[in-house]
Structure 1
Amino acid sequence: MATLKSLKSALVHKATATESSLKQPLSDTQYSAGFDILLQGLGWITYQDFIIPQLSQLLAPLFDSRTHISVLEIGPGPQSVLGYLPGRLRRKVKRYVAFEPNSLFATSVEEFLCSTSETDSPLPCLESPPDIHRIPFALNRKTESGTGTGTHESEEKFDFILFCHSMYGMKPKAKFIERALEMLVERPEGGMVVVFHREGTLQFDGLVCHRTAASFPTGAISIANNDEVLDCFAPFLAGFVMQGVEADKAIRVEWRKLAKRYGGLHPTCDYIAGADGTGAIVDGEQGG
């Protein structure tokens, strides 16, 4: 059974080796469709059996030591994973800020967090509405306001900062972690940056990781052996489509073949691929 990393490498290599049009970034709709496929079926098990339990265990001492918690989430996707933590932890969150450049995800996570029923709300004790910045998390300090009314100098500090979705598109990753460390509340309280990623060992480039969670090698995703589904998932994993109708059509045929060869066929006719996940924690003291 191939890993997502090895399949991604094969998809990218196939497109690079093909004499065709230039690569084109995924639209918000294309990325959203691929992400939905990733989370279906076995894909959610990675969150249910690894990310959510690990996060709950890691955050309990920090959250229990304070009456209120401010959170910054980088790339939450369509729903914040914080909404699935135990209730006693969720009730400690008084301030929630996120950077989510995908407009579909930004709208979805805002709706997810803005339930009018306190019993149904993922974060029932927020003191103000969630602040969703519809732009990428940047290394500089200037950020657009969540309402899109301009820019301001961001000096807000947070108790907890979460990178949950592989730090997609952030290079070099260590610099973005350093930027997050600068945004933690200062000692004596201190704060914590948590990173979950899927692509092997994360290079910290001189930063000291306070703790690394065990990997989740048994994690897997299940994708229907269906051309339409594979045509959504392969570009999502590769990170691009090809410009030009004919070039894009040709590479999708090759990508389907690769996906089936790397994943094999499950008896139920689902495509299976390993989804190794790991976690790392960097706190304000250890990470400087």
Structure 2
Amino acid sequence: MMLSEASDRGRAKRGDSVGAGRAAAEHRQRDERHPWPPRWLRWVPPALVVATMVLDQVTPPRYFFGALLTASVVLALFTYPPLGVLAVGAAGCVLLAVTETLEDYVGPMTIAALTVLATITVLSTSLCVVRQRIESRFRRVQAVAEAVQLALLRPLPARIGPLRLAGFYRAADDEALIGGDLYSVRPTPFGIRVIVGDVKGKGISATQTVATVISSFQEAALLQPSLDQVAERIDVALQLDRDNPPAEPMGGGRPAYAPGKAPAPADEVFATAVLLEFSADARTVRILDRGHQPLLTVRHGTASVVEMDHSLPLG
């Protein structure tokens, strides 16, 4: 995250957001640019039906291409609604029956092919109904997950008082909007206070600690007169998390952490963070570093490390 004093030049438009909000927008843009299944796949089932008809006309009767019709139904399962899958299968059955009848070549192979194609059509249509229900449920779950994650790590406005903000956030898990990193900015009676940090763990499994740190900071920033006292309140909250780890769900429910990933041991609940307190005019800033990466200042295109004292991580 970068913070700078506001200037008349290059001000961000009102309503823009950074951080997790930008990550959510990029997720949606990526899904729009690279949809799955790809759009061109919708043309493959009818193309196979046409190819079957053409090959049947240009080849001797002893050659049989009924398998292409079966393939068209299977591919339609991934791209078409149930009625579309049923239409592709019905068109294939009619085409197969008509061509074989016109060529007077109806035999056991034709009857077997029609039976297989009809069976595949019925099964694919049923699976397509199941696929649509699963996709609908996944979209609802995805929308809820995005809302929860953005409520936890709220998108920041491009400007708070005299400060302009810019940021970029990308979680370790490709499908997650947030992970183990965190940030929060709060206007308070003591100035504009900021926290940027990184908790123990990665991805979804770290969000519980992220929630503890952010909620504690947002409350303490408004009440505590010094950054040291804000950090102490976060320390206490993390200590409570460490002393009271989440219990296993009752009734055989799912664990509170991501499948395949063990939760962090109780003695490893901590976070590195840097806390900042800008004055009302944003011309001075107090900094408290709790084991985090060094801060950088950028002036006239030159970056330099901010020299400061370090102390133990939060928790």
TM-score per shorter chain, which class? Answer: under 0.3
Decide which structure has the larger Cα Rg and report it.
2
- TM, length-normalised to structure 2: 0.22
Going by fraction, where is helix more abundant, 1 or 2?
2
Q: TM-score, normalised by structure 1?
A: 0.23
